[in-house]
Structure 1
């Protein structure tokens, strides 16, 4: 349940993980105010309106006129896959890993029987708790996803929907392997939704962002060799839905990007287990 009134986020360090999460929240809020929305994340807009923060400076850096659409297209595709799974498994346990300030738990209106867990670093969850409260069927967990112990508090006797958006590329390959193994060991079945970067991601990161991106993969089907329980279902690029962008100029730009190798740089993946 959302809290009420203005929220002071204090000094969120520029460039920190928390700042990046606020930036993504801001982009989704901007997109929700478009006359023709793709994602329509009104919960994000409500959150931005409540947070006492220098959004003017954020706007100058994030340039929402261009960047809000890619964020919205990616989130909308993951929402579509998530909603499909919840429609078939209304009693699912949902693990939203690296949730940041994302409002997916509120956008999707999960079934009453579902159990939803938003998981992120303790400092990120500390900020989330200024906006939202735990409630029946919804709980926040402050932990690194690489810590094995946080899973102990989740029910293991339900179909599992695991969503990791903008997360795995910041882990080492060994950490990705171990995390996926723990998840598939705990649950009897479900789906895993996540985005990946190509091997160019870590190389580019060393040039532009001090190497924060540490894992990329050329063929995501390799995960089936890592873990025999995983079964590839589908893959798409957020650029593939460029026709949904209302701006003709940006639609053309995204179309051109989609026609190049850029479409293979950043992809979204759906696996069953």
Structure 2
């Protein structure tokens, strides 16, 4: 089995939570995403998954699956329009989007994350024709040297930017748009109240709330996008607007009730931008 070699103290370990939730969805009687790769990865990684179950995260599996579905749809749409695209999945964690979508032979796909994350990924997946894994931090521009600078590009950043400061977000967007000629950046952001709550929990209950605090919220992105030359926003949509896609009626009712509260409905939104 592959050893995770990680605990639950920093942003790298959030990928284990996300993987666990996607696997729970895949193993449910009526999955939303149905990520069989996630279920297989959980079986192969030597980790005490009970630590996550005890934290009550199972209730979040459908929201995580709905978010992944939204990103998958945006990526699939871009690839239908650009059969020769380059795809950069930044902060990919243990996500299997490159395999779920099975892009055509003309697509060059790069999954990028921290060295220890990529090391674990390589025990689960392998580089292949048109697919590479690269080690690097989102805040370190050196991995950009490994990427082509021609043609249309899709940059996917799921579950990462809220952990970076607004200044780091701004610098990352600038580097991406300067390196590439044309493309889209899709990413998610949390509501201001969610970010504020995470910071309070981290400050007041650090031994209990071991996950990193959110540093950037949805409220910061209009300014960040406006300050990035050539970047413009196309759409943003709440993750819970997709609850009709859940096959299980009880799941649809549960999230439908949550969606009636505007603050909860907009707790996380997915942004699509173009340059």
TM above 0.5, yes or no, is yes
Report how far residue 254 of structure 1 moved: 1.3
1:52 is matched with 46
Q: How far apart in 2 are the matches of 1:224 and 1:209?
A: 28
**Secondary structure at 2:55 match in 1:** helix
Question: Residue 7 of structure 2 corresponds to which residue in structure 1?
Answer: 13
1:168-225 alpha-carbon deviations (Å, 9 max, x no partner): 1111111111100110111110111000123323321122234621111327433442
**Aligned equivalent of 1:155:** 148
* Pair 1:140 & 2:142 matched: no
Whether 1:108 aligns to 2:101 is: yes
| More divergent stretch after superposition (211-220 vs 139-148) | 211-220
Counterpart Cα distance in 1 of 2:116 and 2:98: 19
Whether 1:195 and 2:211 are equivalent positions in the alignment is no
Tell me how far apart the structure 1 counterparts of residues 151 and 76 of structure 2 sit (CA, whole Å).
16
SS in 2 for 1:160: strand
**How much has 1:262 moved relative to structure 2?**
1.6
How far apart in 1 are the matches of 2:123 and 2:136? 17
Q: Separation in 2 of the partners of 1:175 and 1:16?
A: 17
| Counterpart for residue 166 of structure 1 | 159
Mean CA deviation greater in 203-212 or 180-189: 203-212
Question: Could you list the runs of 5+ residues in structure 2 that have no partner in the other structure?
Answer: 204-211
What is aligned with 1:254?
255
Give CA deviations for 1:63-119 in whole Å, capped at 9, x if unaligned.
Answer: 32x211000000000100000001111111111011111111111101111111111
Quick one: distance in 2 between partners of 1:7 and 1:144? 22
Unaligned 5+ residue runs, structure 1?
Answer: 1-5
- State yes or no: 1:128 paired with 2:121: yes
- Residues 1:266 and 2:260 are matched in the alignment: no
**Is the 1:27–1:62 contact (alpha carbons within 8 Å) kept by the matching residues of 2?**
no
Match of residue 206 from structure 2: none
SS of equivalent residue, structure 2 residue 128:
coil
Cα distance in 2, alignment partners of residues 185 and 228 from structure 1: 9
- Which residue is equivalent to 1:178? 171
Per the normalisation by structure 2, the TM-score is: 0.90
Bigger RCO (CA 8 Å, 6+ sep):
2
Give how far 1:268 is off.
Answer: 0.4
For residues 4-59 of structure 1, what are the alpha-carbon distances to aligned partners after superposition, in whole Å with 9 as ceiling and x for unaligned? xx3233x4213343432112111111111223222111111111121222223322
Higher mean C-alpha deviation, range 200-209 or range 145-154:
200-209
Matched, 1:68 2:86: no
- Supply the distance in 2 between the matched residues of 1:205 and 1:57 (Cα, whole angstroms): 20
Partner Cα separation in structure 2 for residue 181 and residue 13 of structure 1:
32
TM-score, normalization by structure 1: 0.91
**8 Å Cα contact 1:28-1:68 kept in structure 2:** yes
> CA-to-partner distance for each residue in 1:138-187, whole Å, 9 max, x for gaps?
11111111111110110011210000001111111111111001101111
Aligned length: 266
